[in-house]
Amino acid sequence: MSRIGKKPVDLPSGVSASVSGQTVEVKGPKGTRSFTATDDVTLAVEDNVVTITPRGSSKRARQQWGMSRTMVANLVTGVTDGFKKDLEINGVGYRAQMQGNTLKLNLGLSHEVNFDVPAGVTVTAPKPTEIVVEGIDEQLVGQVAANIREWRKPEPYKGKGIKYKDEYIFRKEGKKK
């Protein structure tokens, strides 16, 4: 039995869910999101609670059970609170600023990096060394943050680069004479 799949997903006030076939659509104060589950699970909405049950006891059905429940819970979290990733920039002269829908990054390269922000995500730079990525789609927020980080990953000797705020950089000792 899936410990995650057994738990029903509660819908807070102001959030509504509707199931049509294998697709669940969740509407909330921040927007609307939908998820299409596989045929291995059954989705049901009753009394502001979304329940997911497996069809059969095959290994695939049990795998999809927990995953589908987590995806529906992420939809509910996204339309109520949203998702947020904080990035930090470390390094002399490394900085970021927003200009319209473009994030301009100075990362010690011979040119300035222009990162176009995709729709569905808001990127802000409250300080020149901080970047905040927010949105209602957890996968998209994480992917945009990873794409920004990809321009200059943190290096282990001085820690220069773009890192997640809660990320720990394992530091190495330099050469010895």
Domain boundaries, the chain: 3-80, 83-164
Is the fold of 3-80 the same as that of 83-164?
A: yes
Instruction: Assign domain 83-164 to a CATH class.
Output: alpha beta
Of 31, 86, 33, the closest CA to residue 9 belongs to 33
Residue with tokens 């530091």: 171
* pLDDT at position 56: 87
Q: Which contacts (CB < 8 Å, 24+ apart) does range 152-160 have?
A: 152/91, 152/94, 152/105, 152/107, 152/108, 152/109, 154/90, 158/91, 159/90, 160/90, 160/91, 160/92, 160/94, 160/108
DSSP three-state, residue 119? coil
Residue 1 has pLDDT above 70, yes or no: no
CB 78 within 8 A of CB 32: no
Fold (CATH) for 3-80: Outer Surface Protein A; domain 3 (3.90.930)
Mean of pLDDT over the chain: 91
Geometric angle at alpha carbon 129, from 125 and 131, rounded to 5°: 35
Residue with tokens 């589908």: 68
For 114-150, what is each residue's pLDDT tens digit?
A: 999 999 899 999 999 999 999 999 999 999 999 999 9
- Summarize pLDDT for 77-102 with one digit per residue, the tens: 999 999 999 999 998 999 999 999 99
